Amino acid sequence: MSTAALAIAALLAASLPGSYACEIAQTTVVTENGVLSGAPNQFPEAHRPGWRFGVEVRERANATPEVEVRWPPASLIELGGTYAAVVLEPNHLVVTAMARSCLFGSTNCPVLIQLAAREDGSLGFTILPTGLTRRARGSSELTQMNIIFTGSCRRQNGS
Amino acid sequence: MVIALLLAATAALSGSYDCLIDRQVVINERGVQPGAVVDLDGTEGEAWRFSVRLIEHRNAATQVEVRWPANPIQIAGTQASLDVGPGHLAFLAMSRPPCMFTETNCMALIQLSARADGSAAFTIMPTGLAGDGSSGRTQLHVIFTGTCRRQDGS
C-alpha cells in the first residue's frame, strides 16, 4: 500500500462517528495533597460490569458533533445523556455532562468527558469529575477529591 | 452549636484570593505518570500565580473571575459557577487557541473549595492531548492542585 493510501486509511480509522462499547480501565484519585497513594487504580473483576457504558458519536450538519452516553442506570456515576461536543482538534472531542447521582459532589456534579480517536478505530476516554469527600471520619467539613477515570472504547460492529 | 455555626460561616467562598499551584499530576491513558511535570514557561514564580475574585449576585449564579497575566493554561476570564457543595464551586473555562494542551479549543473544569481557615483549595482539570500528527495523539491530562490565600480586606 502506498504512503498516501496508508495515510488515508489511518485518517478513516481515526474517525470518531459511530457506536462504541466502553470500559473504565484505570482510576486515579487526586486530593488537595496530590495523588492519593494506595488508592486502588483498578476495579475488582466482579465489579467490572458496572463500569461499562456505551457511547455514540454523531456528526451533525452545520453544528458541533453530538455524543450520546448510555450508562447503566444502577451504576455509581450516572452520566447518561446526549451532549453537544466541543472539538479539541480533529477526532478529539470533549463534552460537559452532569451526573444524575452525585457520588462525588453534594449538590451538582459537572463532569468533563474527553474522547480521542485512535488509529485502530477504537477510542480512548478520560472522565474528569468534580468531587468532594469528608475531611476526616465523622467530620462535616468537605474537601476536594477528584477521581479521574481512563479507559478504552471498542467500535461496535457495523457502526 | 455556636462553634458549628462559626465553622460554617468561615468555610464559605467570598472576596478575592491569591492562588498558587502546589502540585501537578500527569495522567495519560495508562494512568498516573509519576515524576512527570509540565514546565510553565520555565519560571517557578509568577507564572504559577493567579488570583480569583468571587462576584456574587442575588438570584443568579456566583461568577468567578480568574486574573492570570501569564495565563499559561488559558483559564483567565470571568465564568458563571455551579455549587457542588456548601462552600464549593465548579466552573468551566473555555478558550480559543493557542492552547497549552490542545490545538483547536481549550477547556478546563475548575473546582474551588473553601477551607475552615478562610483559605481555599483548587483543582484545575484541563482537557489535553500529547503526541504529533504523524504518530497520532493520545490523551494526556495535567491536573493542577493548589491553595488560595484570601487577600487582605476582602
| Interchain contact B81–A (C-beta under 8 A) | no
With the CA atoms of A99, A50, A146 and A103 taken in that order, what torsion angle do they form, in degrees rounded to the nearest 10?
50
- Counting Cα atoms < 13 Å in the Cβ hemisphere of B135 gives 5
**Does position A57 have pLDDT exceeding 90, yes or no?**
yes
Q: Do A126 and B31 touch (CB under 8 A)?
A: no
Q: Residue for cell digits 509568577?
A: B46
Mean pLDDT of chain B: 86
Contact of B119 with chain A, judged by CB distance below 8 Å, is answered with no
Q: Which of residues 84-103 of A touch B (CB under 8 A)?
A: 86-90, 92, 94, 96
CA-to-CA distance for A67 and A69, rounded, in angstroms? Answer: 6
User: Is B130 within 8 Å of chain A by CB?
Assistant: no
Q: How far apart are the first and last CA of chain B?
A: 27
Does the CB of A139 have a partner CB in chain B at under 8 Å? Answer: no
Question: What is the interface pTM, i.e. ipTM, of the complex?
Answer: 0.84
Handedness of CA B91, B94, B100, B104 (dihedral sign): positive
Average pLDDT along chain A: 83
Q: Tell me if A124 and B138 make a contact (CB, 8 A cut-off).
A: yes
pTM of the model: 0.87
Cβ of residue A118 closer than 8 Å to a chain B Cβ? yes
pLDDT tens-digit map of A106-143: 788 899 999 999 989 999 999 999 988 888 887 778 88
Q: Give residue-wise pLDDT tens across range B81-123.
A: 999 999 999 999 999 899 988 888 999 999 999 999 999 999 9
Residue B153 — very low, low, confident or very high, per pLDDT cuts 50/70/90?
A: confident
